[in-house]
């Protein structure tokens, strides 16, 4: 490689390093400008005790709807000891904002939407509010 080619290569590498440095500085700046993250407090009384001696397995998903209802999807991976103390909870349980069970659901599909966000489709299968 001749001297002109080496000089051109060094200039390109130096410019690339400078651009990468500027890019890293500019991209991290908005993250610092967002302020303090929200603080959450644990409410030990939420949710209320589950009905019918239900026991959940590991919770694999949590989401909310427009009415602030919380949906949990449990895996149902209970041990023999857990099954001795209760019975398997439905796959999806819906709670109202106060922590009361409102409905139960069966998981229909767990898929990705076009935006790349995860989506959980559920179908109501449980008793009505009056039966809980």
* pLDDT classification of 112: cutoffs 50, 70, 90: very low
What is the domain count for the chain? 2
- Predicted pLDDT of residue 96: 94
Quick one: pLDDT at residue 101? 94
> Could you tell me if 65 and 111 lie in one domain?
yes
Q: Judging by DSSP bridges, how do beta strands 118-124 and 101-112 pair with one another?
A: antiparallel
The per-residue pLDDT for range 12-35, each reduced to its tens digit, is: 777 777 777 777 776 665 555 567
Query: What domain range includes position 64?
Result: 51-131
Please tell me whether residues 88 and 55 are part of one structural domain.
yes
Same domain, yes or no: 20 and 60: no
**Statement to judge: residues 26 and 60 lie in one domain:** no
Summary mean pLDDT of the chain: 76
Residue 74 token pair: 């449990």
Rounded Cα distance between 88 and 81, Å, is: 12
**Average pLDDT rounded to a whole number, residues 69-94:** 87
CA distance 87 to 104: 14
| pLDDT at 38 (0 to 100) | 80
Q: What phi-psi label fits residue 35: left (phi over 0), alpha (psi between -120 and 50 degrees) or beta?
A: left
Of 87, 80, 117, which is closest to residue 104 (Cα–Cα)?
Answer: 87
Q: Are residues 56 and 105 in the same domain?
A: yes
């Amino acid at each position: 490689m001749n001297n002109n080619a080496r000089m051109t290569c060094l200039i390109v590498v130096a410019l690339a390093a400078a651009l990468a440095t500027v890019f890293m500085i500019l991209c991290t700046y908005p993250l610092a400008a967002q302020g303090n993250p929200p603080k959450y407090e644990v409410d030990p009384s939420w949710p209320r005790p589950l009905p019918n001696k239900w026991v959940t397995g590991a919770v694999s998903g949590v989401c909310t709807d427009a009415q602030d209802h919380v949906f949990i999807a449990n895996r149902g991976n209970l041990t023999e000891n857990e099954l001795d103390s209760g019975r398997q909870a439905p796959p999806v349980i819906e709670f109202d904002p106060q922590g009361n069970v409102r409905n139960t659901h069966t998981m229909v599909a767990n898929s990705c939407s076009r935006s790349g966000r995860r989506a959980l489709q559920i179908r109501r299968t449980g008793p009505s509010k009056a039966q809980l």
